[in-house]
Amino acid sequence: MLRELLANLPKPDHNAELLVGNDTGDDAAIYRIDENRALVATTDFFMPVVDDPFDFGRIAATNALSDVYAVGGRPVLALAICGMPIDKVSTETIRQVLAGGATVCKDAGVPIAGGHSIDTLEPIYGLAVIGLVDIDKIKRNVGARPGDVLILGKGLGTGFLSNAVKSGTLSDAGYGEMLAATTKLNDIGMALAERDDIHAMTDVTGFGLLGHLSEVCLGSGVAAHLDLDAIPLLAEGRALAESGVNTGAASRNRMAFFENVVLPDGLPQWWNNMLYDPQTAGPLLIACDPSGADDILAMFRAEGFDAAAVIGKCTDGNPGITVS
């Protein structure tokens, strides 16, 4: 749908300083500011995925910052985006949302220098984030090569956990698991940007694993093979998926990307849902030379990404994904 919405918009004149725009669905726009450095710009906001306003702010800020880390950048400045139905939401609740976002940004060393607020029908919160990146360190969701291995930095399953929050059925353990995953900053992306053996990098968010990997394959001109048993899952998220919980967004992702995907016969429906499930503040997905995979996994684990795993590989062939 996004491609359809953008397809007929007026095209700007060519600008040699715009290094990354919206042509490949990358995580952020990148604009050259001098010979060696570029500006990174992104924005992300959404409606509450949890009931606690402070936690909502934390999750939304973590999610917004991730797009800068995913291109190898260092976030340096943020602007808050806040829409609240002021006749329904108390001042203290709004304050808690803003405080949650500010706490994450403080931990990341990113000042919130301003923003904009409006009266809306439903609460929304997020950030516009500006970062910097060395031009020779930029990572994109294109550039994967045949022979690369695929590494996923966190477990999947936050969409199912969020769905259970909305239905009031999420356990305390599940809520803790969700918070741990969705407030874990992907700031390791800055260190990963230093590695020349990483050929493509993105974060798995709204399009789910298969959607974002499809974009990598299409942009890079490679095929991908995923090992189902190697994909890390959040334990409570898996339990919910196996119980039949699903999300509408997973169905929309399936409709958008199924033509690029071959799934094994007899795959349980919960696995199908999991692979398309949208993630909030989701994992980094990396395509790298296999010789560096062990070092990269060690980097992830040293930073507390205990679930990081090699989940597949890239090969020659028509762009698409085979799951086995």
Q: Does 128 share its domain with 175?
A: no
Distances from the Cα of 112 to the Cαs of 28, 79, 107, 228, 309, in angstroms?
A: 18, 5, 12, 40, 33
Note whether residue 142 is domain-resident: no
Q: Does 96 share its domain with 185?
A: no
Residue 118 class from Cβ within 10 Å (0-12 exposed, 13-18 middle, 19+ buried)? Answer: exposed
Q: Does 31 share its domain with 179?
A: no
Predicted TM-score of the model (pTM): 0.93
Note whether residue 144 is domain-resident: no
By residue range, what is the domain housing residue 312?
A: 149-323
Q: Does 197 share its domain with 311?
A: yes
Q: Please write the tens of the pLDDT for every residue from 108-160.
A: 999 999 999 999 999 999 999 999 999 999 999 999 999 999 999 999 999 99
Which pLDDT belongs to residue 5? 61
Which pLDDT belongs to residue 256? 82
CATH number, domain of 71, equals 3.30.1330.10
Q: Please write the tens of the pLDDT for every residue from 106-119.
A: 999 999 999 999 99
Q: Under 8 Å CB-to-CB from 195, ≥6 apart: which residues? A: 288, 292, 296
Which range is least confidently modeled, 24-28, 207-211, 280-284? 24-28
Q: What is the mean pLDDT of residues 82-97?
A: 96
CATH number, domain of 228, equals 3.90.650.10
Which pLDDT belongs to residue 274? 96
Assess whether pLDDT exceeds 60 at residue 82.
Answer: yes
Which pLDDT belongs to residue 7? 65
Please state, in angstroms and rounded to a whole number, the distance separating the CA atoms of residues 273 and 203.
Answer: 19
Token representation of residue 3: 């491609």
Note whether residue 5 is domain-resident: no
Domains held by the chain: number? 2
pLDDT band at 4 (very low <50, low <70, confident <90, very high): low
Q: Does 313 share its domain with 227?
A: yes
Q: What is the mean pLDDT of residues 201-218?
A: 96
Indicate the residue among 81, 107, 137 that finishes a domain: 137
Indicate the residue among 80, 115, 137 that finishes a domain: 137
Which pLDDT belongs to residue 255? 86
Closest CA to 44 of 280, 284, 214, 202: 280
Q: Under 8 Å CB-to-CB from 198, ≥6 apart: which residues? A: 139, 192, 286, 287, 288, 292, 296
Beta strand 112-119 with 18-20 is unpaired
Q: What is the mean pLDDT of residues 172-191?
A: 97
Q: Is residue 209 within 8 Å of 275, Cβ to Cβ?
A: yes
Q: Does 38 share its domain with 172?
A: no
Note whether residue 246 is domain-resident: yes
Q: Determine which helix (DSSP H) or strand (DSSP E) holds 40, and give its type and residue range.
A: strand 37-46
Assess whether pLDDT exceeds 60 at residue 229.
Answer: yes
Please state, in angstroms and rounded to a whole number, the distance separating the CA atoms of residues 16 and 35.
Answer: 12
Token representation of residue 205: 């968010």
Q: What is the mean pLDDT of residues 226-243?
A: 97
Q: Does 303 share its domain with 278?
A: yes
Which pLDDT belongs to residue 247? 81
**Given the structure tokens 């990148």, which residue do they identify?**
30
Q: Does 159 share its domain with 300?
A: yes
Q: Does 162 share its domain with 266?
A: yes
Q: Does 157 share its domain with 282?
A: yes
Q: Considering the chain, what percentage of its residues have pLDDT values greater than 70?
A: 96
Closest CA to 59 of 69, 67, 48, 70: 48
Q: Does 186 share its domain with 236?
A: yes
pLDDT band at 251 (very low <50, low <70, confident <90, very high): confident
Residue 261 class from Cβ within 10 Å (0-12 exposed, 13-18 middle, 19+ buried)? Answer: buried
Indicate the residue among 137, 164, 188 that finishes a domain: 137
Please state, in angstroms and rounded to a whole number, the distance separating the CA atoms of residues 31 and 37.
Answer: 9
Q: Under 8 Å CB-to-CB from 48, ≥6 apart: which residues? A: 56, 123, 125
Q: Does 159 share its domain with 116?
A: no
